[in-house]
Amino acid sequence: MDHFLYRDGALYAEDVPVAEIAAAVGTPVYVYSTATLERHFRLFDEALDPLDHLVCFAMKSNSNQAILRTLAALGAGMDVVSGGEYARAKAAGVPGERIVFSGVGKTGSEMRAALEGGIRQFNVESEPELEILSAIADSMGVTAPVTLRINPDVDARTHAKIATGKSENKFGIPIARAREVYARAAALPGLEVIGVDVHIGSQLTELEPFELAYTKVAGLVELLRADGHAIRRLDLGGGLGIPYTRSNEAPPLPSDYGEMIKRTVGHLGCEVEIEPGRLISGNAGIMVSAVIYVKNGEGRDFLILDGAMNDLVRPSMYDAHHDIVPVVEPAAGVEQVPFDIVGPVCETGDTFARGRHMPPLKAGDLVAFRSAGAYGAVMASEYNTRPLIPEVLVRGDQFAVIRARPTFDEMISRDNIPEWLL
Ligand code: LLP
């Protein structure tokens, strides 16, 4: 459920007409709903009760400072995957003890910064990473709390580009080698091995792959404890999917996911962390774009929008579907006609949808891409020297620009001219 609904024939973000935001800020623009973000965070938080738990928002899905502050105020932790995300989490006021550091290629300087600023744990993915972390922590005279990310060799049954839990993927330590690597970690100075981490992929629309993975983790925890490791924390990753179409998708609810977690690992007495990104931020955002031209082509008609693949890359990159709805609600019974919905970028890949049925639209009309709050703004680029589009946060009847559109001068002034060209 989200808070982008039609009211009296117009699309609203909570209590603000979307058209009003577009008029004030221009298009394209990302618009987020505070109530939706808060609702989704709470669903997860409650789903894990009464376990000792922390919901760490995967801020790779949306790392705007205002979004992070909104969630941090509810007690969210953060899952970060780079020094930049760590700095963003800290800048948003998240204490180090609520930040977990994931990622397959953490550098020494990123580790050092996190150890200096405070960190809940590092989710370590390889032996070389263990060695580096050990050396750095030891040289700083501190102890780094560590979980090892296990690759459980489970098929997440999601898009190949976002599946991470099969043995052929670059992520984690093969479960068959886990005991050996835990023994190595326990022998290294500067590390405290406290738990097990697993993340098998993103946009999972069934519980079974999670259940398989968590059952394997539970078995591993028993073995590791028998080997003498004090395993007290489990990080179960993110990945629960969202409905991208209103009509026919019904991924599991956070409450079902929570029950499954209790069923598979609840008996271990561990503190449990999860790292949801998409399910918290995805349906809390839309991208609003205006029609530039309606172009009648050979056997097909094109809606050419001012938004493009550089603003929302998911359709070109993953063939992802986003519902696209007119901001003015179509009258009941109006005939819908098929359009190819495209952006102005000079590539055929800049196509959001083919043959999508829409009510008749004309230049200047607004459309909204639903479910664009996760992996939207964060994956945007300035390709074709198109400015990163602004972001707006709505709360009730108020809205605020939480990232402004840069000017062309600001964009150009980031380039430096070498002396020999002056
Ligand atoms: N934890 C780890 C270690 C991850 O790698 C990810 C996502 C998450 C948590 C959060 O997963 P979520 O709950 O959001 O599914 N750009 C792609 C998605 C990439 C996901 C990468 N890792 C897309 O637009 O679909």
55: CA distance to ligand 1 center in Å?
A: 15
Could you state, in chain order, the average pLDDT of each consecutive group of 10 residues for the chain (422 residues)?
A: 93 98 98 98 98 98 98 98 98 98 97 98 97 98 98 91 84 96 98 98 96 98 98 98 81 96 98 98 98 94 98 97 97 95 96 97 98 98 98 98 98 98 96
CA-nearest residue for atom 6, ligand 1, is 238
pTM of the model: 0.97
Burial 136-158 (b: 16+ CB within 10 A, else e): bbeeeeeebbbbbbbbbbbebeb
303: CA distance to ligand 1 center in Å?
A: 30
| Largest CA-CA distance found in the chain, in angstroms, rounded | 71
Task: Please tell me which residue in 331, 346, 417, 422 is annotated as part of the active site.
Answer: 346
**Tokens 């938004």 -> residue:** 307
61: CA distance to ligand 1 center in Å?
A: 7
Tell me the best of 82, 197, 202 to mutate to test the pocket of ligand 1, counting ligand atoms within 8 Å of each CB and taking the most. Answer: 202
CA distance 106 to 125: 9
Domain boundaries defined on the chain:
4-31+282-412, 34-280
Q: What is the pLDDT of residue 248?
A: 60
CA-nearest residue for atom 19, ligand 1, is 162
Whole-angstrom Cα Rg for the chain: 23
199: CA distance to ligand 1 center in Å?
A: 9
Q: What is the pLDDT of residue 239?
A: 97
How far does Cα 23 stand from its chain's mean position?
Answer: 28
Q: What is the pLDDT of residue 271?
A: 98
Q: Which atom of ligand 1 is nearest to the CA of 237?
A: 1
98: CA distance to ligand 1 center in Å?
A: 19
Q: What is the pLDDT of residue 420?
A: 98
CA distance 158 to 185: 32
Tell me the best of 41, 55, 60 to mutate to test the pocket of ligand 1, counting ligand atoms within 8 Å of each CB and taking the most. Answer: 60
Q: Which atom of ligand 1 is nearest to the CA of 275?
A: 9
CA-nearest residue for atom 8, ligand 1, is 238
Decide if 270 is catalytic. no
Q: What is the pLDDT of residue 245?
A: 87
Are the CB atoms for 231 and 280 separated by under 8 Å? no
Helices 34-47, 65-72: axis angle to 10 degrees equals 40
Q: Are strands 121-124 and 99-101 parallel, antiparallel or unpaired?
A: parallel
Q: Which atom of ligand 1 is nearest to the CA of 241?
A: 15
User: Is the CA virtual torsion 281, 262, 202, 128 positive or negative?
Assistant: positive
CA distance 398 to 13: 10
Listed in sequence order, the residues at least 6 apart from 220 whose beta carbon sits closer than 8 Å to its beta carbon are 150, 175, 178, 196
Angstrom CA distances, 332 to 4, 118, 134, 289, 363, stand at 19, 56, 65, 23, 22
Which amino acid type is present at position 74? L
Question: Which residues form the pocket of ligand 1, taking CB atoms under 6 Å from any ligand atom?
Answer: 58, 60-61, 79, 102, 162, 199, 202-203, 237-239, 275-279, 314, 318, 374-375
CA distance 287 to 275: 24
Q: What is the pLDDT of residue 161?
A: 86
CA distance 152 to 350: 36
Helices (H), 232-323: 254-265, 278-281, 314-318
Are the CB atoms for 206 and 252 separated by under 8 Å? yes
Residue 340 token pair: 């190819």
CATH (residue range 4-31+282-412): 2.40.37.10
CATH (residue range 34-280): 3.20.20.10
Q: What is the pLDDT of residue 247?
A: 64
